[in-house]
Amino acid sequence: MAVLPILETPDPLLRRISSPVEEVTPELQTLIDDMFETMYAAPGIGLAAIQVGVPKRLLVIDLQEPEEEGGEPVRRPLVFINPEIVETSDHLQVYNEGCLSVPEMYAEVERPDRIRARWLDRDGSSREEELDGLLAICLQHEMDHLEGILFIDHLSRLKRDMILKKLAKARKLAA
Ligand SMILES: [Zn+2]
């Protein structure tokens, strides 16, 4: 397994539309393992393949939520290959989102709070489930990456420009 470099905005690859996975091969499963290692190391709760430069419709999620309040985070790795949203609730929820490709920046984004999604898992088996809460938010955020969309695209131009300016400043300070 390997920690892969994560692309950051404004890398043009992040704007690319990812293509469907044709077949779940051992190579793809290695990529999945590397994506988990990369996500845990970052650390983050979701990562799309395009964020490590691979334009395939594949993403991984692990909310790493503790069993009980104040408890140790528990790893529950989820793999989504060729995910599709088949139904969304009318009710929206606001969540303060961040992204490994827009490091250290957060903003409130409104999304449907419940979705029904269909995807292939790590073994290529078909799954369909209704998801809610943070998992629903996270899946929608990661699925945006497959279309070349970042969470900052959901913000007003003013807010987006503010974040990009802050990011540029933080990079200059770090350089
Ligand atoms: Zn992201």
Counting DSSP H helices and E strands in the chain, the numbers are: 3, 7
- Catalytic status, residue 147: no
* pLDDT exceeds 90 at position 166: yes
- Per-residue model confidence as pLDDT tens digits over 81-139: 999 999 999 999 999 999 999 999 999 999 999 999 999 999 999 999 999 999 999 99
Residue 7 lies in a domain: no
- Lookup result for tokens 């131009």: 157
- Residue 4 domain flag: no
Tokens of 141: 């955020």
Question: What is the rounded average pLDDT for all residues in the chain?
Answer: 97
Å from CA of 53 to ligand 1 middle = 13
- Predicted local distance difference test score (pLDDT) of residue 147: 98
pLDDT band for 1, please (50, 70, 90 cuts): confident
Domain count of the chain? 1
**How is residue 158 written in tokens?**
């003013």
Flag whether 88 is in a domain: yes
Read off the DSSP letter of residue 66: B
Q: Is residue 5 a part of any domain in this protein?
A: no
CA distance 21 to 15: 18
Residue 167 Cα to ligand 1 midpoint, Å, equals 15
How far is C-alpha 47 from the geometric centre of its chain's CA atoms?
A: 4
| Domain CATH for 165 | 3.90.45.10
pLDDT tens-digit map of 137-164: 999 999 999 999 999 999 999 999 999 9
What percent of the chain lies above the pLDDT cut of 90? Answer: 97
Task: State which residues form the domain around 160.
Answer: 12-174
**d(CA 14, ligand 1 centre) in Å:** 10
pTM metric for this prediction: 0.96
Euclidean distance between CA atoms 150 and 105, whole angstroms: 12
Query: At residue 71, what is the residue type?
Result: G
Q: Is 85 within 8 Å of 116 (Cβ atoms)?
A: yes
d(CA 45, CA 137): 11
3 part of a folded domain:
no
Residue 101 CA to ligand 1 centre (angstroms)? 6
The reply to whether 6 falls in a domain is: no
Specify the 3-state DSSP secondary structure of 7: coil
The total number of residues shown for the chain amounts to: 175
Count other Cβ atoms within 10 Å, centred on residue 172.
8
pLDDT recorded at residue 142: 98
Considering the domain boundaries, does residue 2 fall inside one? no
Average pLDDT for 31-54? 98
36 belongs to a structural domain: yes
Q: What pLDDT is attached to residue 175?
A: 83
Which residue among 72, 87, 130, 142 is the active-site one?
142
Least confident of 20-34, 64-78, 145-159: 64-78
Which distant-in-sequence residues (6+ apart) come within 8 Å of 85 by Cβ?
115, 116, 117, 140, 143
